[in-house]
Structure 1
Amino acid sequence: MSTLLKTLSERGSDLWQATGQHIWLSVVSLLIAIIIAVPLAISVQKHKRIAELLNQIAGILQTIPSLALLGLLIPFVGIGQVPAIIALVTYAIFPIFQNTFVGLSSIDSLLEEAADAFGMTRWEKLRRFELPIAMPVILTGVRQAMVLIVGTATLAALIGSGGLGTFILLGISRNDNSLILIGAIASALVAVIFSGLIQLLQRVRLRTMLISLGVLVVGIAGFETYQGLQKNEPNITIAGKMGSEPEILINMYRDLIQNSDPKVQVTLKPDFGQTSFLFNALKSNQITMYPEFTGTVLQGLVKENRPVQDMNAPQIYRTAKNDLKSQFGMNFAKPMKYNNTYALVVKKSFAAKYHLKTISDLRRISNKLNAGFDLEFIDREDGYRGIKKLYGLKMKYQSMDPDLRYEALNKGAVNIADGYSTDSQIRQYHLVALRDNKQLFPIYQGAPLMKDSFAKNNPKIIKALNKLAGKISEKDMQQMNYEVNVQKRSAATVAKNYLVSQHLIGGK
């Protein structure tokens, strides 16, 4: 409890900001869903077959996994609030549409006949008795949609939309239960509060409700317009993959850029997601740059996979740089020194028991292996696919979050996992990285990846970023990861301390 309260005290301002972002996403998504679903249900009230078809379509959309939907939206609408709102609206339409149709369809037919006898128009019937009678059922659907939206909105943090999901993702990444609890509890409280407010709406008149919703819509639109007018200066958006290392690197990029030109505004989006999310976001101009690795470029991003096992580090970098430029019009800045390659890791006790030193040694005990692998590693040619082909090694495995797989290995839930050579958990949990004796894993040197047009228009920024070229050893990176993940120091502080110690920026 003391740790939770300490974390809450330290991150109070961040929590308020994240809560505001979460509420914003939730309210806007709910209003759009209401504007779509309620009129749609009213329009098909007398057409049950069409209503059933629309109900089935809305239900099918709701079954699409949220991460899959976000991934599908990024190439078309980029990252940030737009894809998040589209996804949330998609999930919210079903309960609102269904309840609105059920509420209107349940009205006594005698009332309808009496209204027709008095010559009431369609709008008069809706306003005077249909909507008021159906309102409790409609609001039940709205309340269900809001709870669904608030819970699903935590995933919006994966695509740079902020919200309380940032606390949960950061907690998983740092193995910090306090951050996870803060994000989860705050999200639950938001859902409970909004559910209560929606329930109170049942006690007010329809006209008052519509006026209140109108004021809310106008207020939100005005606030968004005001915010947009304030963003007059150019902004560089730097995103990073999941984990401490990408966050350290993007903080270094920001510090180097602002050290060269303090007037430049830099926005960071850490824990953005898997490689495909970032690459698509870069292609669609939703971010300016992100740290990428040479091996990943050649094995997963360019159109033709290159046989990199026989290339040295400079050759791999030149090939990756040329392919990115010719195929995507992108610029790959100069790489850092360390090789953040893949590794298969086991506990020291497990390695000693079965005399494991290389990946080939695993073939002797393949029937005893229970692996926890990252999804990206499972599907890569320089990952588990390559292990099966080159080493002739098959094992039982399950997919896991990149950070959770280490915890599972430490607790004995799995006995082998994939990792990176600079991961702090190798030191933290006393693990052994088995030697890649057949040289499956290529060299992975990191460098900023951006559009070529941006690089040409900003030579001063490129010069600043290139100060990291040839810097940071594997030992340095593992130590910095250890400071963030284990010693709980902020990535921004760790990044700045390194730059100052190497005289790349001035200290304060």
Structure 2
Amino acid sequence: MEKLFNTLISQKEAISMALEQHLVLSLISLLIAIIVAVPLAISVMNRPKTAKRLLQLVSVIQTIPSLALLGLLIPLVGIGNLPAIIALVAYAILPIFENSYAGLTNIDPNLEEAADALGLSRMKKLRRLEIPLAMPVILSGIRIAAVFIIGTATLAALIGAGGLGSFILLGIENNNNDLLIIGAALSAVLALVFNYGIQLIQKLSLKKLLFIGLIFLGLIGGGAFYQNFQNSNKVIIAGKLGSEPDILINMYRDLILEENPKLKVELKPNFGTTNFLYQALQKGQVDIYPEFSGTILQTQAKKTKISKNPETTYRDAQNYMKTQQLTYLDHMKYQNGYALAVSQSLASKYNLKKISDLKKVPSEEIKAGFTRDFYNQAQGWNGLKQSYGLNNVNQIKTLESNLLYQAIGNQQLSLIDGYTTDADLYQYHLVSLQDDLHYFPPYQGAPLVRPTTLTNHPEIKTALNKLNNQITDAEMREMNYRVAVKHESAAKVAHEYLTQHHLIK
């Protein structure tokens, strides 16, 4: 508990920001869902066949996995808040529409007849009789939708929308249960607050409910305008999942602020996969993120033949980025290439030192686990398997990187992929196999930047190029170990490195 309390204190600013992001995202999604679903239910309340078809449609949407829906939306609307809100609204419509329709169509027929006898118009009957009587059922649907939205909104962190999901992802990635508990617990508390708040407003009249709704819409609209204004004067630095990108983006921020203390810099850690970040950079939703030369040529340029010379690979990546109207700044010293690692017991039993040695291991003894990026890339597992003739590796699971290390540490796996700078290789006493055929290309990291960002703030290039040929493999492994295993702050570890090497004051 003491450790958890210390984490809460040290991360209070980040927690406050994540909570605000989660709250705003949930409120916007809920209000839009109400605006769509309730009028929709009213419009079909006397048309049961149409209502049935609509109910079937929104039910089908509900069955689409949330990650799949987010993935489908990204090419259409980009990343960040917009696809997250669209997905959350799509999921929230069903309970609100279903309850609204049920409430409006289950009113006592005698009351309906009395209203008609009094000569009430369609709108007056709806406003004075039907909606007030259906309101408890409608609000019950809104409560269900609110809880669902808050829980699902944690996935928004995967596409750069922030929120409490960023703590859950970071906790999973770094095996830090404190961060995971903070993210999950605050999500649960937020859901309870929403639930209680909706129960309170049940007692209000329809006019007061509409008035409160208009105030919320005004506040949200004003907040969105202010946020867009703020973003126009801000440099956004994003990083992929993991401790290493988190360390690097904190270094970038410190270096930039050293050059220009007045510049507003926002960090978006644990942003997601390579393609998410790359699209965000191209669309101007992100200004800078750390990328590796081999990854650029494999994932973006789709090259099948990559030089084994680090400088040549870097120059090829830099030239390719120029064709994409992006700037690839100076590279660091270390390389963070792929590595295949096996358990100590398997390495000892079959004297495994090189990747080619895996061919002599019986297939039933190789239980492999790979990250999705490595398994799906053409130059990842499939290419490696063909180059080395590893037809005996058949039992394969795809997991997040930190789960791979836990699984091999618990002897549930015997072969995994990783990176040469991973601290977990040493934490779990794994044997990293030598790439004796030199299959993997060089992976030198450097900042990938939008040219317009450098035009507006030329000091950024000077700042970030201070990392040219800095950070050795050993130094990166040590920093990763401190963040991923010792659970030190990435900001603290990054700042200490920069000051110790006199890159900032």
On the 8 A contact 2:38/2:97 being kept in 1, the answer is yes
Match of 1:221?
221
What per-residue deviation string (whole Å, max 9, x for no partner) do you get for residues 399-429 of structure 1?
A: 1112221111111222221100000111111
1:323 counterpart = 2:320:
yes
What count of residue pairs does the alignment treat as equivalent?
502
1:397 counterpart = 2:408:
no
Deviation of 1:219 after TM superposition, in Å, equals 3.1
**Distance in 1 between residues matched to 2:200 and 2:262, nearest whole Å:** 48
Letter in 2 for 1:360: S
1:377 counterpart = 2:374:
yes
Deviation of 1:377 after TM superposition, in Å, equals 0.8
Deviation of 1:106 after TM superposition, in Å, equals 1.8
One of 350, 372, 376 as aligned partner of 2:346:
350
On the 8 A contact 2:79/2:160 being kept in 1, the answer is yes
Match of 2:496?
497
Match of 2:115?
115
On the 8 A contact 1:374/1:399 being kept in 2, the answer is yes
On the 8 A contact 1:241/1:278 being kept in 2, the answer is yes
Alignment map for 1:4-23 (pairs within 5 Å): 4-23=4-23
Deviation of 1:367 after TM superposition, in Å, equals 2.5
**Distance in 2 between residues matched to 1:232 and 1:214, nearest whole Å:** 26
Match of 1:470?
469
Deviation of 1:291 after TM superposition, in Å, equals 0.5
**Distance in 1 between residues matched to 2:228 and 2:359, nearest whole Å:** 59
**Distance in 1 between residues matched to 2:211 and 2:452, nearest whole Å:** 48
**Distance in 1 between residues matched to 2:98 and 2:433, nearest whole Å:** 55
What per-residue deviation string (whole Å, max 9, x for no partner) do you get for residues 421-475 of structure 1?
A: 0001111111111111222211111111122343455443212211111121111
Deviates further, 455-464 or 131-140: 455-464
**Distance in 1 between residues matched to 2:16 and 2:252, nearest whole Å:** 27
Letter in 2 for 1:426: L
Partner-residue secondary structure (3-state), 1:343 = strand
Partner-residue secondary structure (3-state), 1:73 = helix
Deviation of 1:260 after TM superposition, in Å, equals 1.6
Partner-residue secondary structure (3-state), 2:447 = strand
**Distance in 2 between residues matched to 1:291 and 1:47, nearest whole Å:** 55
On the 8 A contact 1:78/1:285 being kept in 2, the answer is no
**Distance in 2 between residues matched to 1:87 and 1:335, nearest whole Å:** 38
**Distance in 2 between residues matched to 1:271 and 1:87, nearest whole Å:** 20
Deviates further, 146-155 or 133-142: 133-142
On the 8 A contact 1:170/1:271 being kept in 2, the answer is yes
1:158 counterpart = 2:154:
no
**Distance in 1 between residues matched to 2:437 and 2:108, nearest whole Å:** 76
On the 8 A contact 1:244/1:485 being kept in 2, the answer is yes
Letter in 2 for 1:330: L
Alignment map for 1:183-194 (pairs within 5 Å): 183-194=183-194
**Distance in 2 between residues matched to 1:359 and 1:82, nearest whole Å:** 44
What per-residue deviation string (whole Å, max 9, x for no partner) do you get for residues 2-48 of structure 1?
A: 32233223333433332222222111110111001100111111222
On the 8 A contact 1:173/1:403 being kept in 2, the answer is yes
Deviates further, 92-101 or 270-279: 92-101
Specify every segment of 5 or more residues in structure 2 that has no aligned partner in the other structure, as ranges. Answer: none
On the 8 A contact 2:482/2:488 being kept in 1, the answer is yes
Partner-residue secondary structure (3-state), 1:382 = helix
What per-residue deviation string (whole Å, max 9, x for no partner) do you get for residues 294-328 of structure 1?
A: 111111112x42401x43111111211222222x2
**Distance in 1 between residues matched to 2:177 and 2:276, nearest whole Å:** 26
**Distance in 2 between residues matched to 1:145 and 1:127, nearest whole Å:** 23
On the 8 A contact 2:167/2:179 being kept in 1, the answer is yes
What per-residue deviation string (whole Å, max 9, x for no partner) do you get for residues 90-125 of structure 1?
A: 111111111111221222334333333332222111
1:445 counterpart = 2:441:
no
**Distance in 2 between residues matched to 1:267 and 1:223, nearest whole Å:** 17
Deviation of 1:340 after TM superposition, in Å, equals 0.6
Alignment map for 1:97-496 (pairs within 5 Å): 97-228=97-228, 231=230, 234-302=233-301, 304-308=302-306, 310-326=307-323, 328-365=324-361, 366-393=363-390, 394-496=393-495
**Distance in 2 between residues matched to 1:481 and 1:415, nearest whole Å:** 23
Letter in 2 for 1:213: G
Deviation of 1:354 after TM superposition, in Å, equals 2.3
Deviates further, 349-358 or 470-479: 349-358
Identity among equivalent positions (%) equals 50
Alignment map for 1:53-72 (pairs within 5 Å): 53-72=53-72
On the 8 A contact 1:325/1:452 being kept in 2, the answer is no
Deviation of 1:226 after TM superposition, in Å, equals 4.7
**Distance in 2 between residues matched to 1:364 and 1:243, nearest whole Å:** 33
1:85 counterpart = 2:85:
yes
Deviation of 1:369 after TM superposition, in Å, equals 1.3
Deviation of 1:233 after TM superposition, in Å, equals 6.8
What per-residue deviation string (whole Å, max 9, x for no partner) do you get for residues 166-212 of structure 1?
A: 22112112211111111111111111221122223333332332222
Deviation of 1:155 after TM superposition, in Å, equals 1.4
**Distance in 2 between residues matched to 1:91 and 1:283, nearest whole Å:** 29
On the 8 A contact 1:74/1:281 being kept in 2, the answer is no
On the 8 A contact 1:75/1:284 being kept in 2, the answer is no
Letter in 1 for 2:67: L
Instruction: Return closer, same or farther for 1:143/1:498 CA change in 2, 3 Å cut-off.
Output: same
Partner-residue secondary structure (3-state), 2:5 = helix
On the 8 A contact 1:71/1:277 being kept in 2, the answer is no
Deviates further, 124-133 or 102-111: 102-111
Deviation of 1:499 after TM superposition, in Å, equals 1.6
On the 8 A contact 1:378/1:384 being kept in 2, the answer is yes
Deviation of 1:494 after TM superposition, in Å, equals 1.2
Letter in 1 for 2:347: A
Letter in 1 for 2:420: S
Match of 1:74?
74
Deviates further, 486-495 or 147-156: 486-495
Partner-residue secondary structure (3-state), 1:83 = helix
What per-residue deviation string (whole Å, max 9, x for no partner) do you get for residues 344-379 of structure 1?
A: 112223211222111122222233111221111110
Letter in 2 for 1:337: K
Letter in 1 for 2:261: P
TM-score, length basis structure 1: 0.94
Letter in 2 for 1:407: Q
